[in-house]
Amino acid sequence: MAFQDLIIPGLSFLTIMSVLLLCYAPAKNHLRYKRSVTLAIVSAVCVLMSVATYICTAVFSQDFGIINTLGVILLFIMYYRSLTLHISQATAIFLSVCAYITFLANFSIIFDALMHPDGKLVDYSLDAFVFLFVLCVVFCCVFIYPLGKNGAFLLDNLPHPRVWWMLSVVFAIFYLFNLRMVIHHYSTLHTNKVGIAYITAMLTMFVLLIMLCIIFYFIAKTLIEKSETENRNRILKMQEKQYESLQRYIDADARVRHDFRQTIYTLKELSAEKDYQAIDDYLNRFAENLPQKETTDYCREPALNALLNHYAGISGKHGIKINIRVAIPDKLAIDNIDLCSIIGNILENAVIACLDIPEDKRFIRVNLSIERDNELYIAISNSFSGHPSMKDGRYLSTHTGGAGIGLISISATAERYNGSANFKHDNDVFYSNIMLVNDTSQPR
């Protein structure tokens, strides 16, 4: 066996591994299996792919494009099945890496054409394999950190399938462009100025793709931060209303305590006259005029308490019977914004769903508790019409024209806290069950 027969499969294996590292870098928080199991599966698939690539190119001299297409399909199936991401997110990440790698593959073909002007793609040389491997390793070293950090941020905070499908289309266009631009006869590049034009076009498209990704990231980051700011402002407004309500109660209570001396004098005079009926009437009127606290202390988390009071007030206005039970520690490791976003999304949907049924059937039950020391369980059930809107096995939002973005956001947030989100319905009751790991060892 020639040395080339050994080195090409090895280089193919390492190249495919570097490609998959780029794919898994942003999805590191969404692995379906343990990292060791995922690594074993990926390694096995890479071995099969590298051997198949060598056999097809070196032994049977099959077209590189066909091999590339079949390999991409196989790798994507393995990639998607090993993650908990929505298929739109997995597709966008995978196609983005494929688009970049096909650029590198075309650059290696250009290198091969310069080294062997009379050659063909079916005679792809060992030198070109080495060059492609070096390009992939360099590209991986340069981009794996920003992709792992910034890509993970987008996957964790941008759970909108339509956005990811649009990105997938863009990356697919670049990917297909590269496949279409593959040079099969190297002599083409040496005809007139075709080579210069081809290389210029490739470099321009490569830089354009990088710029598009950077621009998209900063636009998405700005929108995500804006959304977080709006959530914080909404919670602050709820807390402000709760504070105003408490202040009114305190002021009224202070007036009652200030006037209580006069009440004692009045009761004393009525008692001296033995006018017990007057005393009874006076006490009844006094009790009716006592200030009533408008808010309830469900927990010691100010933001969560304000949110629960807000939806309790809305429920009361619409005749919805709401029962709230909270048994959580005074301090949670879970961010207030994330926790309020989850509960707020569910309660908002629950209120809207209740408005579609008769008032005597409207109810919402909320239960928050800590189990097994560090698992926060959020169980919310509500009545609804019994006819949920669903698409592809997923519940859609109760908002008009909604696409279930709230539920997708809840699932994404739960995954970020190593938890889970399950939604189901039984007859005319909808159940939302969320589990978040309250890891107090991590900084909040």
pLDDT at residue 442, as a whole number: 55
Percent of the chain with pLDDT over 90: 23
Tokens of 243: 């504070």
Average confidence score pLDDT of the chain: 81
Q: In sequence order, what DSSP letters do the residues of 247-294 get, joined into one string?
A: HHHHHHHHHHHHHHHHHHHHHHHHHHTT-HHHHHHHHHHHHHTS----
Across the range 316-333, mean pLDDT stands at: 88
| Cα separation, 270 vs 264, whole angstroms | 10
Query: For 193-210, what is the mean pLDDT?
Result: 91
| pLDDT for the residue numbered 354 | 92
Structural domains of the chain ordered from first start: 3-191 (no CATH), 302-437 (3.30.565.10)
- Cross-strand pairs, 435: 377, 420
- Tokens at 260, concatenated: 């209580």
Quote the pTM value. Answer: 0.69
Question: Would you place residue 443 in the very low, low, confident or very high pLDDT band (cuts 50, 70, 90)?
Answer: very low
Q: Give CA torsion, residues 261, 263, 268, 274, to 10 deg.
A: 180
Cα–Cα dist 226/16, whole Å? 38
Which alpha helices (H) appear in 147-193, and where do they start and end? 152-157, 161-180
For the chain, the C-alpha Rg in angstroms (whole number) is: 32
Query: pLDDT band at residue 330, thresholds of 50, 70 and 90?
Result: confident
Place of tokens 């020639």: 2
CB atoms within 10 A of CB 425: 17
CA distance linking residue 50 with residue 187, whole number of Å: 28
Q: Token pair 């060598």 is at which residue?
A: 54
Q: Using DSSP bridges, classify how beta strands 429-437 and 420-426 pair: parallel, antiparallel or unpaired.
A: antiparallel
Give φ, ψ of 348 to 5 degrees: -65, -45
* pLDDT(304) > 60: yes
Contact of 396 with 386, CB cutoff 8 Å? no
CA 382 – CA 428 distance, rounded (Å)? 8
Confidence of residue 301 (pLDDT cuts 50, 70, 90): confident
Q: Which residue has the higher pLDDT, 46 or 99?
A: 99
Which strands, in side-by-side order, build the sheet including 375-383?
321-327, 363-371, 375-383, 429-437, 420-426
C-alpha to C-alpha distances, 425 to 32, 362, 422, nearest whole angstrom: 26, 15, 10
> What is the mean predicted confidence (pLDDT) over 355-375?
90
The sign of the CA dihedral 86, 90, 95, 96 is positive
DSSP three-state, residue 130 = helix
Which of 113, 102, 123 shows the shortest CA–CA distance to 183? Answer: 113
In Å, what is the CA distance from 307 to each residue of 73, 314, 364?
Answer: 46, 11, 15
Could you tell me the pLDDT band of residue 100, with boundaries at 50, 70 and 90?
A: very high
Torsion of CA 234, 235, 237, 239, to 10 degrees: 170
Query: In whole angstroms, how far apart are CA 337 and each of 33, 158, 329, 334, 401?
Result: 29, 15, 17, 9, 25
pLDDT at residue number 2: 44
Residue 376 phi/psi, 5-degree rounding, is: -90, 120
Beta 363-371 vs 321-327: how paired, if at all? Answer: parallel
CA dihedral 89, 92, 98, 99 (to 10 degrees): -160
- Supply the pLDDT for residue 56: 63
Q: Which two tokens stand for residue 267?
A: 């009761």
Indicate if the pLDDT at residue 401 is higher than 50.
Answer: no
Q: What is the DSSP string of 21-74?
A: HHHHSTTGGGBSS-HHHHHHHHHHHHHHHHHHHHIIIIIS---HHHHHHHHHHH
Sequence-distant (6+) residues with CB within 8 A of 259 are none
What digits encode the pLDDT tens for the residues 8-18? 555 666 677 78
CA-wise closest residue to 416 among 156, 26, 82, 28: 156
Beta-bridge partner residues of 391: 394
